[in-house]
A and B are shown apart, each in its own frame.
Chain A
Amino acid sequence: MNPITPIINGLSITLKHLFMKPVTLQYPDERPKVAARFRGLHALNVSHNKAKCVACYLCPTVCPAKCITVEAGEDDNHDKFAAKYEIDMLRCIFCGYCVEACPVDAIRMTGEFELANYHRKDFIYNKERLLEKK
């Protein structure tokens, strides 16, 4: 086969690409558009000024990475609520099973993906940090 034609074809392709708009995202300056179903940092949903979580223990049960710690408590109305709700982000694999398992729609995942921190203890998100930000 003639060896010149493929090279010329290749050159024309690279030349066409030279004038295309680059797909690069200048990350810290430009922010990516996070998809609606993106599985980022968790958030606890709020209803009537308190977390919807009823401490049913389904999420720590289903969690494959065993990163969720829940402790139940009893409030003034004798309702069960999560006295302690912690997610260890170093263990979490962001599978979203906790969201699927939740029967009361108390937990969801946000588009927040910048989870870097300086200390290991900062990766353990307690209930206050997970509560939905208003």
Chain B
Amino acid sequence: MGIEILGLPMMYYIVMVVKVLVAFVFVLLTVAYATYAERKIIGHMQVRLGPMRTGWHGLLQPIADGVKLFFKEEIVPSQASAFAFLVAPLIALVPAFITFAVIPFGGTIELFGYKIPLQVAAYYDTTAGQVFDVNVGVLYILAMSSLGVYGIVLAGWASNSKYSLMGGLRASAQMISYELSAGLSIVAVFMLSGTLSLTKIVELQSGFGGFEWYIFKQPLAAFMFFVCSLAEINRTPFDLPEAETELVSGFCTEYSSMKYAMFFMAEYANMVTVCALTATLFLGGWNGPFAVAVPLLGPVYFVAKVYFLMFFCMWIRATVPRYRYDQLMHLGWKVFIPLALVNIVITGIIGYFI
């Protein structure tokens, strides 16, 4: 490999692209099979079986769903504003996936003589001998997750239908109010870590044999962040934007075919991202026993934590009924934001005296 780009050999770039592809495909597969897992888990929680007939125990169900949606007719309502209608699913989907770029899913592994940090937006500086990643990783995630709401609001507006508009309006109000408390609740984590870089935050949680997790120091913040994130990504019990009992299907009422599938994928990709972020911030990321000594254990721990949190999301969905709109606003503004502020103050006071 004699070709060099910016002083780095071709192989380095190939390895980097492979890393990105592996991460992306893994997230895509997780998103696809999260739908299957959700149907299966909720089915069994309701003493049913869930999908059983496509493949062994319904294992091919996500693929069958995908193929079906792909071949369905694309319908653009005649009164819809076509451009916004077409672009809205993309605006919802893209931020959902690119958020994953800054989440570290493992330590640094050595491949073809290059040290590769297992994080999409990171590189290993050989002269400095350390990993550099996006040093405002959390800020980037908060920014991207608030971009996702534009897709939903735009979808609601562009559909030119009352149900969609109601869904879009609800989504905007809900996501903006819960973003505040989600953002405030992780401020307490930054006060402990002193950095916004997710790699550093994971490193700081590696003590006690990989169990010095922030959830033990900040249980309230962890709880609030997880609940507010559920609200931000419109999971039950906060799925008011698409409350099918009131709004048919909310913002995606008028959508069909692949465009509907994109909203669906965005929802599940958001769930993966939120669970990955919660695992990174509060459950020690890829840390665990022997994770530093055996580099390949890191991704295993990380995936296990993310899947546990996703199971928890589905478990909550099978249990808790949907909140009423005023209850939702009450919970966001009058419970979580004051609690988050109090948590920050207490963390500050304790941090000052220790």
Q: Given contacts A20-B47, A23-B48, A26-B49, are A7 and B41 in contact (CB under 8 A)?
A: no
Kindly list chain A residues whose C-beta atoms are within 8 Å of the C-beta of B316. 11
The complex places the Cα of A65 from the Cα of B193 at a distance, in Å, of 78
CA gap between A7 and B315 in the complex, in Å = 11
Residue numbers in A under 8 Å from B44 (CB-CB): 17-18, 20, 22
Chain B residues with Cβ below 8 Å from A10 are 319-320
Q: Is the CB of B48 within 8 A of A24?
A: yes
**Chain B 313-350 per-residue mask, 1 if CB under 8 angstroms from chain A, else 0:** 00110111000000000000000000000000000000
Q: Which of A4-20 contact B (CB under 8 A)?
A: 7, 10-11, 13-15, 17-18, 20
* Interchain nearest-CB distance for A116 vs B (Å): 19
A15–B315 touching, CB < 8 Å = yes
Inter-chain contact A7/B47, CB cutoff 8 Å: no
Which B residues are CB-close (under 8 A) to A21?
Answer: 47
Instruction: Decide if B173 is an interface residue (CB 8 Å cutoff).
Output: no
Q: Is the CB of B48 within 8 A of A14?
A: no
The one of A11, A22, A26 in contact with B315, judged by C-beta atoms closer than 8 angstroms, is A11
CB distance from B312 to the nearest CB of A (A): 9
- CB distance B315 to A17 under 8 Å? no
Asked whether A17 and B52 contact (CB < 8 A) given A10-B319, A10-B320, the answer is no
Q: Give every chain B residue within 8 A of A20 (Cβ-Cβ).
A: 44, 47
The answer to whether A24 touches B319, judged by C-beta atoms less than 8 angstroms apart, is no
Residues of A within 8 A of B319 (CB): 7, 10-11, 13-14
B interface, size bucket? 10 to 19
The answer for the CA separation of A7 and B52 in the assembled complex, in Å, is: 30
- B-chain residues with CB within 8 Å of residue A18 when the two chains form the complex: 41, 44-45
Query: Contact: B47 with A23, CB < 8 Å?
Result: yes
The interface residues of chain B lying within 8 Å CB-to-CB of A26 are: 49, 52
A23–B48 alpha-carbon span in the complex (Å) = 6
Question: Could you tell me the distance in whole angstroms from the C-beta of B55 to the nearest C-beta in chain A?
Answer: 14
Q: Which of A102-128 contact B (CB under 8 A)?
A: none
A26 to B50, CA, bound (A): 11
Chain B, residue nearest A13 (CB): B319
Whether the pair A24, B315 counts as a contact (CB closer than 8 A) is no
B43 proximity list for chain A (CB < 8 A):
22
- Find out whether the CB atom of A22 lies under 8 angstroms from the CB atom of B49: yes
- Is B46's beta carbon under 8 Å from chain A? yes
Q: What's the nearest-Cβ distance from chain B to residue A39, in Å? A: 27
| Complexed CA–CA distance, A50 and B21 (Å) | 76
CB 8 Å contact bits of B35-71 with A (1 = contact, 0 = none): 0000001011111110010000000000000000000
Across-interface contacts of B49 in A (CB, < 8 A): 22, 24, 26
Closest residue of chain A to B223 (Cβ to Cβ) is A4
In the complex, what's the smallest C-beta–C-beta distance from B132 to chain A, in angstroms? 41
Contacts of B41 in A (CB 8 A): 18
Given the contacts A11-B315, A26-B52, A17 and B45 also touching, CB distance less than 8 Å: yes
Q: How far is the CA of A33 from the CA of B45 in the complex (A)?
A: 25
* Closest CB in chain B relative to A4 CB, distance in Å: 9
A14 touching B47, Cβ below 8 Å: no
CA distance A26 to B43 in the complex (A): 14
Q: How far is the CB of A82 from chain B (nearest CB, A)?
A: 45
Measured CA separation A13–B48 after assembly (Å): 15
For the complex formed, measure the closest distance between the CB of B150 and the CB atoms of chain A, giving whole angstroms.
32
In the complex, how many angstroms separate the beta carbon of A18 from the nearest chain B beta carbon?
Answer: 5
Q: Which residue of B lies closest to A16 (CB)?
A: B45
CA distance A20 to B49 in the complex (A): 11
Known: A14-B45, A22-B49, A23-B47. 8 other contacts (CB 8 A): A7-B319, A10-B320, A11-B316, A17-B46, A20-B47, A21-B47, A24-B52, A26-B49
Interface residues of A (CB under 8 A from B): 7, 10-11, 13-15, 17-18, 20-24, 26
Q: List 27 A-B contacts (CB under 8 A).
A: A7-B320, A10-B319, A10-B320, A11-B315, A13-B319, A14-B315, A14-B319, A15-B45, A15-B315, A17-B44, A17-B46, A17-B47, A18-B41, A18-B44, A18-B45, A20-B44, A20-B47, A22-B43, A22-B47, A22-B48, A22-B49, A23-B48, A24-B47, A24-B48, A24-B52, A26-B49, A26-B52
Give the top 7 A-B pairs by smallest Cβ distance, nearest first. Answer: A24-B49, A10-B319, A14-B45, A14-B319, A22-B49, A14-B318, A18-B45
